Structure 1
Amino acid sequence: MKQKKVVIIGAGVVGCSTAYYLNKMGQRDVTVIEQGPLFETGGSTSHAPGLVFQVSFSKVLTTLASQTVEAFKALSTDAHPSFYSVGSLEVAHTPDRLEDLKRKAGVASSWGIDAYVLSPEECLQKSSLINKDGIYGGLYVPSDGIAKPLRAVEEMTSFSKSCGTKFYGHTEVTNIEVVDGEARAVETSAGRFEADLIICCAGFWGPRIGEMVGVTIPLQPMAHQYVFTNNLEELAEEEQEVSMPLIRQQDSSIYFRQVFNGLGIGSYQHRPFPVELNEITKYGEAKDMPSVKPFTPEDFEKPWQDAIEFIPSLKQAGIKKGINGIFSFTPDGMPLLGESQKVRGFWVAEAIWVTHSAGVAKQMAEWIVNGAPTVDLELCDINRFDTYAQSPAYYKPRSIENYEKVYDIHHPFMPPETSRNVRISPFYTRQKTWGAYFNEKAGWEQPQWYEANDPLVRVYEKIILKREGWSSKYWSPIVEAEQLHTRQHIALYDVTATKKRLEIKGDGAVEFLQQLTTSNIDIPIGHVMNTLMLHELAGIKDEIRVIRKSASNFHVLCTGPVEASWIQKQLSASSQVVIQDVTEKTCSLRVIGSKAKKMLESLASDFFVENKWVNQRAKELLIGNISVLAVYSSYAGMDSLELSTNNDQGLQLWDLLFEAGRPYKLIAAGDRALEALRIESFALRSTKDFWSEHDPYEIGLSHMVDFNKSTFIGREALMARKENGPKLHLMTLIIDDPTMVVMGYEPVFDKEKVVGFVTSAGYSYSLGKGIVYALLLPEAVNENTTFDIEYFGEKYKAQVMKNSTVVV
């Protein structure tokens, strides 16, 4: 392999783990710099309680946690275990929490982790300390446990040192040299370190390192209360540090872990304690570690009373000491990983808890050495934040909100409360007039449905599927009415927030896009093509839409900032191609419905004459005095036209279309109805139904691959994957029970064996049944046509849809 000079900033568990995995993959020229001592650095690794609850509703976080458990177990010795496999117990003190734990047990099965819903009596058997009064049940995960990160670091650094890696403690980074947009060297109190690649693993100090290269690292340090109790009588004979399961009482926002004869107790119940970097002292300048703030006992009074009620023996034991320990939160609760688009060679691995530490490091090493990780990290990519989200006014309140809600029951459609109205389309004033219920999408205020359409509920009430329970939260029957009305008449959708829009032009634009995509992109002017981008390991980076506007000018729609930054990264410094992000100045409306043709033909434009309607065609034209890019396609078996214009003409376009649509019963409809129509039309969505772990053959998108092209990114790897056969198949299932509306990620069973999980799910009014897309094991697909989907602990029959066609 090509050796690079790698400098890692930070010798906590993340920095040391990253060095370890780089060394294991053959990288030898690695230097680790730490401002504190080695290896109890004074960061959050030094005080973290080490709880590893693996199961999350996020697949990527669960996978990273599982890989951390595997790594720490492998690094354990009999004398010094790096991981105690004692299991975990989450208890429910409300019926809603118990239902949520049933849902969590389901996604645990989806992600391949054993988890069991327990009765109150079974909870007591797992831990005799607890008071089972008021408990409705619990969730037990036997493979969870306690990580000892400093012991793991000792083993990892021993191996790294044998590979030539150098560690420097008490070495403060003073500057990072950037030349022509590339990181070249780290300047420190101990001298200058040349580098081909710099990895920032500085924890909550990361933003300060980012400032040195002009890269925003949007995390908010938060102080979190944690206490150590005196010895408990029930643990008096205990000789091991940990033998009882971790316990989480989320309804009181408290967790418990054994520490020899006492307990460690952490609380999220208190008021938020955001900490600014200038409030954090360096190692050696404070009484305690820099990551520890003075304990505030008044904030622990209520959590302590709740803890005593749950574990009565705590009352006699009392508190020995407490800390307010600092760790990092982000606006979306996900880590910050990858190479910055702004400065090449500057990588980050930030906002990572011990829970995910070694898993993150393993994937970071694969990413650096192989060009892509084996786990999809799109949701963690540092480049996922557009400029608006890099402002402290946005990411600090949102990060604090995530702290406050960390133990809440999270619904996938629950809207955030802070940092709202950051991005609004020119249609916003009209949408408010129509009574839009907004959620946020990529920072945009995105209508979910319109209260003005409430009368349609009565029109379609005999048809509308009634929802109850979980699926009825953050939902309205208006969503269903809008879906039905679109099919019978016509609707207007604001799709400004759905895609990132790029103009790619200049000499070599065709060649650049040929290398970037799997299809022959040399299409006629005015044509539209959907195609794929693959990364180096042939996983699907994105499904994009390419519109050829002229010989050397293309309009490209990709999923979001991560995909846009990846496209930019493929451009060589010597290229004459120019990539311009036009998302901020562009707005888009989509007209869909059985009456769409007639309505648009009424407008004064030759483009809309019936015999000129051609699928997958685009044209720049005038509607009235409004300049638009019009793209025609079929959607859910109906005509669809997407009209894009500059923001300054957007409101005029909205009004013109509504005036033209009055005779055809045009309504404004929301994002939820559009998503329902997508599922009903058997259309896939990148990052929802497939991601970079999957290849086109697994997803049924092989028709987008043209091997007649001599080269494209991932071509050779894709040929090898095709030869080896798929690891999964994306299938369409039909749910027998029309009243069951699953929400996604539920496990799919073949008898008692989990064989996959749901990606998207919705209801088809044309079929009168639920539609489910599911990623399933090939052997299960080959042998069966009937499966069970588990939903809140109950199983429902689903059939493979015969002759189903998945489209894009």
Structure 2
Amino acid sequence: MKLPNQARTVVIGGGVIGCSIAYHLAREGRKDIVVLERSKLTSGTTWHAAGLVRRLRPSATLTKLINYSIDLYGELELETGQATGWTQTGSLTLATNEDRLTNIKRQVSLGRAFGLEAEVVDPRRAKELWPLIEVDDVIGAVWSPADGRVNPSDVALALSKGARARGVQIFEDTRVTGLQKNNGRISGVKIGDHVIEADEVVIACGLWSREVAAMAGAHMPLYACEHFYILTKPLPEIQALGKGAHLPTLNDQDAFLYARDDVEGLLVGSFEPHAKGLPLDRLPADFSFDLLDEDWDHFMPMMENALRRIPALEKAEVRMLLNGPESFTLDSQFMLGESPEVPGLFLMGGMNSTGIALAGGAGKAMAEWIIAGEPTMELNEADIRRFSPEMNVLGALEARIPEVLGRHYDNPHPGRSMETARGQRRSPIHAGLQAAGARFEARGGWERAVHFGGEAAHLPLTFGIPAWRDQVGQEVQACRTGAAILDQSAFGKILVQGPDACAFLNHLCAAQMDIPSGRIAYSQILNARGGVESDVTVQRHGSDEYLLICGAGEVVRDLKRMRETRGRFQVEFTDVTSGYAILGLAGSKAREILQATTSMQVPELERFQFAPVEIGLASGWAGRLSFTGEEGYELYIPSDMAMAAHDALTEAGAEHAGLYASGSLRIESGFRAFGHELSPGITPLEAGLAKFCAFGTGFVGENALQDQAAKQQVVSLLFDDPNAIPIHDEPVYFDNKVVGQVTSSAWSYRLERSIALALINEPLGTTGVVNGFEVEIACTGFSAKASTKPAKEAFA
């Protein structure tokens, strides 16, 4: 078969991910699709994957994607005649400490919201389900009967067969040597001297994806690690199960292990705490159905854990220690979407050892995104726009990715933070925060101060009452009755200039942007369906100049949306995030403290108004608004003067507060946050923000909003029991049925109870307080009351 000269879509990579994307594109009716594979289908990582498919996951998005995958894998054989090896064995997840038991119970609760069957069992029942294990240290387990496994290569081949039947052309032994662009947009793929002109190109080539993306100047921050599992020869205990019988998949996350039966023997793998990174220059150019060298010294601690859990391994003969490469991302979530730098170039990879389980659902999601031009479902946690180019620095990947693999089985405690690749992006006042005792977490490459009690107020981590509760309470009090500095310098700042700046922003943003100079507008940026793509404040500095402020993780997605929306508007926009610090100054004494730093009269500002200020030796401007809902300002200061402003404020008596304090106050005030209450699947009408929409200005998404009725609603929840400690995603019940999920939660120091914001699908129909809600936290129901008003108003 001869390579074509042009195609509608070219997919690079013939593993399970590339085959799934091609299959789903074709199934959606897309024609003229070409798949290019450097070696043979399934080579690289797919062929040696363990093939485990577990439904219960820590988020709604992952759960939905994997459930679709399982349904698909069961249907593919009927459609294509190619078996996938899908076998419903169930899975058993062990807990040897209370926190692990809480974590897996939380997953059971989330699963119930999607109708997933799972059962918390005792050690005796766990041993009945997996007779080979030792359970003397097990305190509980979760049995998930609907889980199973597949043969990864067979899944990829079934997907490729289904794709071919719909007209997809697949070329093996075809190495891509370059990518072609035209006016910045992807336009083709080079294979030696041959070029395939293409409207879209999809990179899904596993380990090599980062390097292939770089051919087009695109960033794809992923990195490979060595991943180990042993295969044994047949064991009598497994043979005794009988032909065709299987044990459940075993997950012993406290021992960093997973296991299943395999050809009458056992497969035992690990996510060891001290993982080994894999520079790609260690792999030969023709690396294909190859493996890395065995390393028994490295694997031996995990082997000892395995012998402790499965004593039958002591007399097993090991067939091989398989060491194969896998790619991971900085935050342990896979990535997919259109490249922010190169329109028409779509990227998917960094599957973090969940590629087989996710391939069906994620492939479908990617295909729909390519066809629709934007996501068709909730994909924020996997959206490639969460990564800025700075996060693709090789040194950061080399340092962080082994830790990501090593902490794959960590309990996701509140307050958990990665320890490697730290200090990449620091606030201009970082030194001042550090001197004040800040505890930092790495978020999106930035060092963010979460509280000011240091290590002593942070550890131990727990799902119960956190060590920092009292410390954060002091910071909350300072934000109310004193004056507290809240470092918001990681917020994105985009300068918008040009004769059409006002008209452009009125088209981009839902709020009215034709405001007087010196005013600030609060707005959402919407997609064509009316869903929220970003949450911003916009300052007007002149007739043709604005400054847009967005969340710390929204800069890349906002700049991409602005480029796509610009059209014929005469406007330019520039990322000036690093040029300015933003210091929140919250509390009833904020104006008093600010005035004490200067002889210049601090202006009397109305809400959402800004004006120039001097702060000690620094100059900038102050806006009258606060993300906490308390009295105060946001101070915008050139980065090189930020420490001077910080020092002047602290000398005048200002204290410090971190993200945990501002989060508590935000939720009390009912303020919505992007990535929590706001997302591309939620409209301003549903989020209770319709009053900020300037209907009649022709903003993107306006037509969709006018035709829609709100199907869901954001409400405030107050828990009755002070022992209830939600985190996020917990299912919300009313009249014994699931009506929604928690989107944000915190301890309210005002109400001395946990509070939350939740998205429910049954509007309350009242502005009063409604009793009768229940939130399931780790398999325990906690009663709560709800209101459409902010918690501090509704429940005071």
Q: Under a length normalisation based on structure 1, what TM-score does the superposition of the two structures give?
A: 0.90
Change (3 A) 1:720 1:157: farther
Change (3 A) 1:655 1:574: same
Change (3 A) 1:61 1:242: farther
Distance in 1 between the 2:21 and 2:341 partners?
A: 22
How far did residue 238 of structure 1 move?
Answer: 5.3
CA contact (8 A) 2:333 2:350 kept: yes
**Range 793-802 or range 682-691, more displaced:** 793-802
1:99 to 2:102 alignment: yes
How far did residue 618 of structure 1 move?
Answer: 1.7
**Range 766-775 or range 564-573, more displaced:** 564-573
**Range 343-352 or range 168-177, more displaced:** 343-352
Change (3 A) 1:704 1:371: farther
**Range 4-13 or range 123-132, more displaced:** 123-132
Distance in 1 between the 2:627 and 2:279 partners?
A: 49
CA contact (8 A) 1:270 1:300 kept: no
Deviations 1:483-517 (CA, angstroms, capped at 9, x unpaired): 123212221211112x2110011122122212212
CA contact (8 A) 1:438 1:446 kept: yes
1:764 aligns with 748
Aligned pairs for 1:294-373 (under 5 A) are 294-352=293-351, 353-373=355-375
Aligned pairs for 1:624-703 (under 5 A) are 626-633=618-625, 638-659=630-651, 661-662=652-653, 666-703=654-691
Distance in 2 between the 1:93 and 1:46 partners?
A: 33
How far did residue 81 of structure 1 move?
Answer: 4.2
SS of corresponding position for 1:46: helix
Change (3 A) 1:389 1:794: same
Distance in 1 between the 2:748 and 2:100 partners?
A: 30
How far did residue 758 of structure 1 move?
Answer: 1.3
Distance in 2 between the 1:244 and 1:603 partners?
A: 70
How far did residue 297 of structure 1 move?
Answer: 2.8
Distance in 1 between the 2:190 and 2:109 partners?
A: 49
1:520 aligns with 512
Deviations 1:381-426 (CA, angstroms, capped at 9, x unpaired): 3232223311111122111111111112221311221111222222
1:87 aligns with 90
How far did residue 474 of structure 1 move?
Answer: 5.7
1:530 to 2:522 alignment: yes
1:180 aligns with 183
| Letter in structure 2 aligned against 1:169 | E
Deviations 1:249-304 (CA, angstroms, capped at 9, x unpaired): 11111111222322211122374222111222244xx6x714x2122233333333
Deviations 1:41-81 (CA, angstroms, capped at 9, x unpaired): x2111111111123232332232222222221221349824
Deviations 1:676-721 (CA, angstroms, capped at 9, x unpaired): 1111222111112231121222221222233322x33233333343
Q: Which runs of 5+ in 2 are unaligned?
A: 1-5
**Range 523-532 or range 8-17, more displaced:** 523-532
Distance in 1 between the 2:705 and 2:370 partners?
A: 20
The structure 2 residue matched to 1:480, chosen from 449, 473, 480, is: 473
SS of corresponding position for 2:417: coil
Distance in 1 between the 2:510 and 2:274 partners?
A: 51
Q: Under a length normalisation based on structure 2, what TM-score does the superposition of the two structures give?
A: 0.92
How far did residue 16 of structure 1 move?
Answer: 0.9
Distance in 1 between the 2:466 and 2:304 partners?
A: 32
Change (3 A) 1:304 1:192: same
Distance in 1 between the 2:151 and 2:57 partners?
A: 21
| Letter in structure 1 aligned against 2:706 | M
Deviations 1:458-503 (CA, angstroms, capped at 9, x unpaired): xxxxxxxxx9952444625211111123212221211112x21100
1:600 aligns with 594
| Letter in structure 2 aligned against 1:789 | V
| Letter in structure 2 aligned against 1:703 | K
CA contact (8 A) 2:413 2:462 kept: no
CA contact (8 A) 2:528 2:704 kept: yes
| Letter in structure 2 aligned against 1:491 | A
| Letter in structure 2 aligned against 1:328 | S
Q: Which runs of 5+ in 1 are unaligned?
A: 458-466
Distance in 1 between the 2:665 and 2:345 partners?
A: 42
2:269 aligns with 266
CA contact (8 A) 1:4 1:27 kept: no
Distance in 1 between the 2:156 and 2:193 partners?
A: 23
Aligned pairs for 1:398-413 (under 5 A) are 398-413=400-415
CA-based RMSD: 2.8
2:3 aligns with none
2:772 aligns with 786
CA contact (8 A) 2:629 2:666 kept: no
2:701 aligns with 714
**Range 115-124 or range 233-242, more displaced:** 233-242
Change (3 A) 1:274 1:796: same
How far did residue 191 of structure 1 move?
Answer: 2.6
SS of corresponding position for 1:418: coil
1:289 aligns with 289
CA contact (8 A) 2:717 2:791 kept: no
CA contact (8 A) 1:734 1:798 kept: yes
| Letter in structure 1 aligned against 2:487 | D
How far did residue 13 of structure 1 move?
Answer: 0.9
SS of corresponding position for 1:733: strand
How far did residue 30 of structure 1 move?
Answer: 0.8
How far did residue 624 of structure 1 move?
Answer: 5.4
| Letter in structure 2 aligned against 1:297 | W
1:66 aligns with 67
Distance in 2 between the 1:451 and 1:276 partners?
A: 38
CA contact (8 A) 1:239 1:260 kept: no
Q: What is the number of equivalent residue pairs in this alignment?
A: 778
1:555 to 2:547 alignment: yes
Distance in 1 between the 2:195 and 2:742 partners?
A: 51
Distance in 2 between the 1:344 and 1:493 partners?
A: 37
Aligned pairs for 1:577-596 (under 5 A) are 577-596=571-590
How far did residue 648 of structure 1 move?
Answer: 0.8
Deviations 1:555-594 (CA, angstroms, capped at 9, x unpaired): 1112223433333432447543111111111111111111
Distance in 2 between the 1:174 and 1:787 partners?
A: 58
Change (3 A) 1:440 1:303: closer
The structure 2 residue matched to 1:619, chosen from 601, 611, 619, is: 611
Distance in 2 between the 1:507 and 1:693 partners?
A: 33
Percentage identity across paired residues of the two chains: 28
Change (3 A) 1:805 1:555: farther
The structure 1 residue matched to 2:11, chosen from 2, 8, 11, is: 8
Distance in 1 between the 2:564 and 2:792 partners?
A: 30
**Range 166-175 or range 591-600, more displaced:** 591-600
CA contact (8 A) 1:329 1:351 kept: yes
2:757 aligns with 773
How far did residue 362 of structure 1 move?
Answer: 0.8
1:541 aligns with 533
1:233 to 2:233 alignment: no
How far did residue 169 of structure 1 move?
Answer: 0.5
| Letter in structure 2 aligned against 1:729 | Q
1:754 to 2:738 alignment: yes
Distance in 1 between the 2:626 and 2:699 partners?
A: 29
CA contact (8 A) 2:123 2:138 kept: yes
1:57 to 2:58 alignment: yes
The structure 1 residue matched to 2:713, chosen from 719, 729, 733, is: 729
1:470 aligns with 463
Distance in 2 between the 1:542 and 1:104 partners?
A: 29
CA contact (8 A) 1:414 1:474 kept: no
**Range 760-769 or range 86-95, more displaced:** 760-769
CA contact (8 A) 1:597 1:639 kept: no
The structure 1 residue matched to 2:728, chosen from 720, 740, 744, is: 744
SS of corresponding position for 2:463: helix
CA contact (8 A) 1:199 1:348 kept: yes
